């Protein structure tokens, strides 16, 4: 059996360290909005190179509250992509806004900047690129368009902790960057967790208020808010993990390079790797195959778990068909999502497991 991901391995590897971190919080008797959160926020801000970070209870709320902090109102339009996790769009809808989809680049699957301006209307307020699978979007072109059109930029960096574009960390090139620390992420908590990063004190203060019922001090609510606080245990786990993030990302890279080497020459489209502009962190290793479903079934029968991120565009989800988009307008998105397959990759994965996956894929394509 080769699991797609095995989170038990991390705990087994770092059991004493993790137990000590959690025990420290339990002994403190303080579980919400305390020193652990303050330490993590300061350390994460330093890591990504932002003036401020604000811990939240999920990446979904990071996008939702960032949009609220930017003043987004009902009916405003947010330009984004359809080949993303549902939370990207559900957060837009939570803010009362309308997602407007732009097609993607066929090489890296991120938003195609050259198609953005065609979708801008008088209602457009924000461009929301997704740094998909750990690969940074073209932030230089995106911010150029935003400045020209007087729009805000909100980065969905949920899958890209540690990734960089032209030596700048993702999540710091727009007005606000949004991060998820869901357990499977490059920097994962042991439950739901998220954060925003920004260089704007006004935006940071707004999100801090919004995450705690709109309070500026106890029982003093200046705006309508929600409960979206990053608890002390998760903050402590993230603070601990942040010291290891670069090493974990390096392990992901080693495994990804092994995949690329072993799968070269097969009738697969392999994912792009880092270049002078893009520092990739390999949140997922996603290949494209014209025989995706048959390959997935073959690997499953060999005891190898795979996944599809994501099986269909957002506008084809039953909940979002009212958006009335058509695959005809997003041909690259539609084609790519019919072909993609995510192979197992995580820091605790063993190299022999990667070789086993590759051997099975080679066996699949060698059949007549």
Identify whether residues 31 and 175 lie together within a single domain: yes
Here the CATH number for the domain that contains residue 270 is 3.90.1150.10
Tokens 């603070």 found at: 239
Q: In 3-state terms, what secondary structure has residue 19?
A: helix
Residue 301 falls within a domain, yes or no?
yes
Q: Rounded to an integer, what distance in angstroms lies between the CA atom of residue 239 and that of residue 24?
A: 13
Identify whether residues 116 and 210 lie together within a single domain: yes
Q: Are 197 and 172 in contact (CB under 8 A)?
A: yes
How many independent structural domains does the chain possess? 2
How many residues comprise the chain?
Answer: 368
Confidence of residue 326 (pLDDT cuts 50, 70, 90): low
Identify whether residues 214 and 301 lie together within a single domain: no
Backbone angles phi, psi at 197, to 5 degrees: -130, 140
| Average pLDDT of span 28-45 | 98
Residue 156 falls within a domain, yes or no?
yes
Residue 70 falls within a domain, yes or no?
yes
The pLDDT value recorded for residue 367 is: 86
Identify whether residues 287 and 167 lie together within a single domain: no
Tokens 């993990």 found at: 241
Residue 141 falls within a domain, yes or no?
yes
The per-residue pLDDT for range 96-110, each reduced to its tens digit, is 999 999 999 999 999
Identify whether residues 236 and 261 lie together within a single domain: no
Residue 2 falls within a domain, yes or no?
no
Domain span at residue 85 reads 8-101+109-242
Identify whether residues 192 and 253 lie together within a single domain: no
Here the CATH number for the domain that contains residue 184 is 3.40.640.10
Mean pLDDT of the chain: 97
Identify whether residues 174 and 213 lie together within a single domain: yes
Identify whether residues 65 and 164 lie together within a single domain: yes
For the cut 80, the answer to whether the pLDDT of residue 328 exceeds it is no
The pLDDT value recorded for residue 57 is: 98
Please give the C-alpha separations between residue 262 and each of 268, 356, 361, in angstroms, as whole numbers.
12, 10, 10
Q: Rounded to an integer, what distance in angstroms lies between the CA atom of residue 224 and that of residue 17?
A: 39
Identify whether residues 86 and 219 lie together within a single domain: yes
For the cut 90, the answer to whether the pLDDT of residue 145 exceeds it is yes
Q: Are 138 and 280 in contact (CB under 8 A)?
A: no
The per-residue pLDDT for range 237-284, each reduced to its tens digit, is 999 999 999 999 999 999 999 999 999 999 999 999 999 999 999 999
Q: Rounded to an integer, what distance in angstroms lies between the CA atom of residue 42 and that of residue 51?
A: 9
Q: What angle do CA 240, 241, 246 make, to 5 degrees?
A: 130
Last residue of a domain, one of 223, 242, 261: 242
Residue 3 falls within a domain, yes or no?
no
Identify whether residues 170 and 272 lie together within a single domain: no
Q: Between β-strands 194-198 and 52-56, what pairing exists: parallel, antiparallel or unpaired? A: antiparallel
Residue 233 falls within a domain, yes or no?
yes
Identify whether residues 289 and 358 lie together within a single domain: yes
The pLDDT value recorded for residue 324 is: 76
Last residue of a domain, one of 195, 227, 242: 242
Tokens 């957002």 found at: 314
Identify whether residues 312 and 340 lie together within a single domain: yes
The pLDDT value recorded for residue 327 is: 66
Residue 178 falls within a domain, yes or no?
yes
The pLDDT value recorded for residue 52 is: 98
| Average pLDDT of span 60-88 | 98
Last residue of a domain, one of 216, 242, 268: 242
Q: Which residues pair with 197 in a beta bridge?
A: 53, 177
Q: What percent of the chain has pLDDT over 90?
A: 97
For the cut 70, the answer to whether the pLDDT of residue 190 exceeds it is yes
């Amino acid at each position: 059996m080769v699991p797609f991901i095995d989170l038990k391995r991390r705990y087994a590897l770092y059991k004493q360290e993790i137990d000590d971190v959690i025990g420290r919080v339990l002994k403190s008797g303080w579980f919400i909005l305390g020193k652990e959160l303050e330490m993590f926020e300061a350390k994460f801000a330093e890591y990504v190179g932002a003036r401020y970070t604000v811990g939240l209870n999920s990446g979904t709320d990071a996008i939702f509250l960032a949009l609220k902090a930017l003043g987004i109102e009902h009916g405003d339009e947010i330009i984004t992509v359809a080949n993303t996790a549902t939370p990207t769009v559900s957060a837009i809808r939570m803010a009362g806004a309308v997602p407007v989809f732009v097609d993607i680049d066929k090489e890296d699957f991120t938003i195609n900047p050259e198609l953005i301006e065609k979708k801008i209307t008088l209602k457009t307020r924000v461009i929301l690129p997704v740094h998909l699978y750990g690969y940074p979007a073209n932030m230089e072109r995106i911010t150029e368009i935003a400045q020209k059109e007087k729009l805000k930029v909100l980065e969905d960096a949920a899958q890209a902790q540690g990734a960089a574009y032209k030596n700048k960390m993702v999540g710091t090139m727009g007005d606000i960057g949004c991060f998820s620390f869901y357990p499977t992420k490059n920097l994962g908590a042991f439950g739901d967790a998220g954060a925003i990063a920004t260089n704007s004190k006004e935006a940071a203060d707004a999100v801090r208020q919004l995450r705690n019922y709109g309070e500026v001090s106890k029982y003093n609510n200046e705006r309508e808010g929600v409960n979206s606080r990053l608890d002390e245990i998760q903050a402590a786990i993230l603070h601990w993990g942040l010291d290891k993030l670069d090493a974990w990302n390096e392990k992901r890279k080693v495994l990804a390079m092994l995949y690329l080497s072993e799968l070269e020459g097969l009738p697969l489209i392999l994912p792009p790797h880092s270049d002078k502009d893009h520092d990739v962190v390999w949140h997922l290793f996603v290949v494209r195959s014209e025989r995706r479903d048959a390959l997935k079934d073959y690997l499953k029968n060999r005891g190898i778990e795979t996944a599809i991120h994501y099986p269909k565009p957002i506008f084809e989800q039953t909940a979002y068909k009212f958006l009335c988009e058509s695959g005809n307008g997003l041909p690259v998105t539609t084609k790519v999502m019919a072909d993609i397959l995510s192979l197992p990759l995580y820091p605790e994965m063993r190299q022999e497991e990667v070789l086993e996956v590759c051997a099975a894929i080679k066996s699949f394509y060698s059949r007549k």
